[in-house]
Chains A and B, each alone.
Chain A
Amino acid sequence: KAGVTQTPRYLIKTRGQQVTLSCSPISGHRSVSWYQQTPGQGLQFLFEYFSETQRNKGNFPGRFSGRQFSNSRSEMNVSTLELGDSALYLCASSSRTSGETQYFGPGTRLLVL
């Protein structure tokens, strides 16, 4: 079974721009969660989607948003990028059959200049 895939793997943007990251979960997994990893703040939960609905949200500004499609693929969007948004963005998927253990993708490295 294929793992979680994320595209793109690397991205360079400038301040003020917006960015969209994509995540395809493991087949059959309906829950997708997003995390931001930075050297200063560590790993922080952004949000979780299940059956196209946001089920949980972390403490991030409204510039961070996401959505999930009917095939469970998910996207996250960051508008008006700031230098501090430079991070590794990790997507994870899970299901009841996986015991809700989250399996992560390779991440997208975003650099904001």
Chain B
Amino acid sequence: AQKITQTQPGMFVQEKEAVTLDCTYDTSDPSYGLFWYKQPSSGEMIFLIYQGSYDQQNATEGRYSLNFQKARKSANLVISASQLGDSAMYFCAMREIGAGNMLTFGGGTRLMVKP
């Protein structure tokens, strides 16, 4: 079974609107962390936001927030007030406590922001 699933290969959003990128995960490890990264066409992976499995509140970082639903094993990224510069690939990743620092990535979602 896929450990990280991103079901939206591509998405369009209108500039200034909010958008939600989906991520579901599968683990039997009680302690894990969930990450979102942005990858522009240049290739560099840019860290956006982190959610720990024991965190009581959803993580937020500026225009990014993470909708963490532990029972559903989902960790959706919400981008508010989309900007043209948000056009990129977005990857959800998981680190399980039993796997050291290894990140397991989903297949990614390509977000395109329309002016």
Encode contact with B along A35-62: 1 for CB under 8 Å, 0 otherwise. 1000000111100101000011010000
Q: Contact at B95–A100, with CB atoms within 8 Å? A: yes
Which residues of the other chain, A, contact B85 by a CB distance below 8 angstroms? Answer: none
A25 interfacial by beta-carbon distance below 8 Å? no
**Residues of chain A at the chain B interface (Cβ within 8 Å):** 31, 33, 35, 42-45, 48, 50, 55-56, 58, 88, 90, 92, 94, 99-107, 109
Q: Contact at A56–B37, with CB atoms within 8 Å? A: no
Encode contact with A along B61-89: 1 for CB under 8 Å, 0 otherwise. 00000000000000000000000000000
Interface residues of B in 27-46 (CB under 8 A from A): 33, 35, 37, 42-46
CA distance A104 to B89 in the complex (A): 15
Task: Show 27 A/B contacts (Cβ-Cβ < 8 Å), sorted by A.
Answer: A33-B101, A33-B103, A35-B105, A42-B107, A43-B105, A45-B102, A45-B103, A48-B102, A55-B100, A56-B99, A58-B102, A90-B43, A90-B45, A92-B45, A92-B103, A100-B101, A101-B35, A101-B47, A101-B50, A102-B35, A102-B47, A102-B101, A103-B47, A104-B37, A106-B43, A106-B44, A109-B43
**Residues of chain B at the chain A interface (Cβ within 8 Å):** 33, 35, 37, 42-47, 50, 91, 93, 95, 99-108
**How many Å from the CB of A111 to the closest CB on chain B?**
13
A-B contact count (CB 8 A): 59
Which residues of the other chain, A, contact B42 by a CB distance below 8 angstroms? Answer: 106
Q: Contact at A45–B45, with CB atoms within 8 Å? A: no
Which residues of the other chain, A, contact B50 by a CB distance below 8 angstroms? Answer: 99, 101
Q: Contact at B44–A105, with CB atoms within 8 Å? A: yes
Known contacts A92-B45, A104-B45; 5 further A-B pairs (Cβ under 8 A): A35-B103, A45-B104, A50-B101, A90-B45, A101-B47
Q: Contact at B100–A102, with CB atoms within 8 Å? A: no
CA distance A58 to B106 in the complex (A): 16
**How many Å from the CB of B37 to the closest CB on chain A?**
7
Q: Contact at B44–A104, with CB atoms within 8 Å? A: yes
